[in-house]
Amino acid sequence: MLKNIEVLCHSSIRISKEKIIYIDPYKIDKNYNDADIIFITHDHYDHYSKEDIDKVRKENTIIIGTKDLLDKFIKDGFLQDRIKIVCPNNLYVLDKVNFETIPAYNTNKMFHPKKNGWVRICY
């Protein structure tokens, strides 16, 4: 199972099974432009890096994130039909990929509050 999962840098992960999936692409070393799906967990620079998203996205990539990222996704050139907005504590099926979102927050840090509604992805 782990042979298809690669930890890239920090919280950045690449999954290569039926689809190529990136979670929080960050410090990507070259242009791969192979992502079928990109998950963005929240808007901090080390989770939402436009420079790194551009290195993995291709023309028809689907990007997934929370509602506070919608304007940013559109500004960065994603078409509305290629954007999926998610909330914590839900199950989703997207392009034959099943995943679940769980809340992502810290109890001991002010910059990751529960009220933001950020998510972690369970694939």
pLDDT, tens digit, for every residue of 81-94? 999 999 999 999 98
| Segments of 1-122 assigned E as strands | 5-9, 12-16, 20-23, 35-39, 57-65, 83-85, 90-94, 97-103, 119-122
pLDDT at 1 over 70: no
pLDDT at 21 over 90: yes
- The pLDDT mean for the chain works out to 86
**Exposed e or buried b per residue across 30-52, where buried means at least 16 C-beta atoms within 10 angstroms of its C-beta:** eeeeebbbbbbbbeeeebbbeeb
pLDDT in tens, 64-110: 999 999 999 999 999 999 999 999 999 999 888 899 998 776 677 77
Grade residue 19 by pLDDT with cuts at 50, 70 and 90: very high
Is CATH 3.60.15.10 the classification given to domain 7-88?
Answer: yes
Instruction: State yes or no: pLDDT of 39 exceeds 90.
Output: yes
Q: Helix or strand or coil: residue 19?
A: coil
The residues spanned by each domain of the chain are 7-88
pLDDT at 37: 96
Mean pLDDT score, 20-45: 91
